[in-house]
Amino acid sequence: MAHFILIHGAYGSRNENWFPWIRRELHRLGQHVHTPEFTTPEGQCLDSWMRSFRHCRRYMRPDTVLIGHSLGCAFILSLLEGRKRPVRAAFMIAGFIGKLGISEFDGLNTTFTDKEFDWRSIRKNCLKFRFFASANDPYVPVEKVRQLAKFVKRRPRVIKDAGHFNEECRFMRFDALLTEIKRLLAKAREPKSAVPRSRKPRRRTHP
């Protein structure tokens, strides 16, 4: 069983959008699911979210899968920077760094997104990245998701008419994400092929 940690975004909650649905689906698959709640918008900053995440740090293991929505993706990047061992995977939905050009969010998000990221550590501390973008997202354009994915040498999967992947757009289940997760779990169950030992050359005996 893997540990899945779901990270919501600004103005968000662990009990909205498709989070309750994916949590139920993961439980059906026999997985451990953790959904921390973060202060937003009042008191929202990277330090306060890091403090709220303390009780989940014990679940950051080699089998851990991180799932972030919107600002939650930038928070995941900061989590990966401080790791000593890699996690299994990170799924980034409508993720971005830098400014969105929306004053309501840019000031609120600055401690998360306007910083120098240690991309080498981030790439090293996550074995697999997957990115999702929406062609009609009113907040995070596809190009912003592409920009983020490029830093870890990935390309996003663009979902048609998903909006911001939230309740506002009636996006209450996420089948494409669940399919990717099932593939990841199936691959983890595959037996590892045995690596043949190198044979030492025989010594020649001379008469």
Note the pLDDT tens digit of each residue in 113-144: 999 999 999 999 999 999 999 999 999 999 99
Asked whether residue 199 is domain-assigned, the answer is: no
Range of the domain at 147: 3-189
Asked whether residue 203 is domain-assigned, the answer is: no
Mean pLDDT confidence for 144-173: 96
Q: Is the pLDDT of residue 17 over 70?
A: yes
| Dist. CA 90–CA 112, nearest whole Å | 17
What pLDDT does 207 receive? 41
Asked whether residue 89 is domain-assigned, the answer is: yes
| Dist. CA 83–CA 3, nearest whole Å | 16
Asked whether residue 204 is domain-assigned, the answer is: no
The residues, ordered by sequence, that sit 6+ positions from 105 with a Cβ below 8 Å of its Cβ are 10, 139
Domain harbouring 161, CATH code: 3.40.50.1820
Asked whether residue 127 is domain-assigned, the answer is: yes
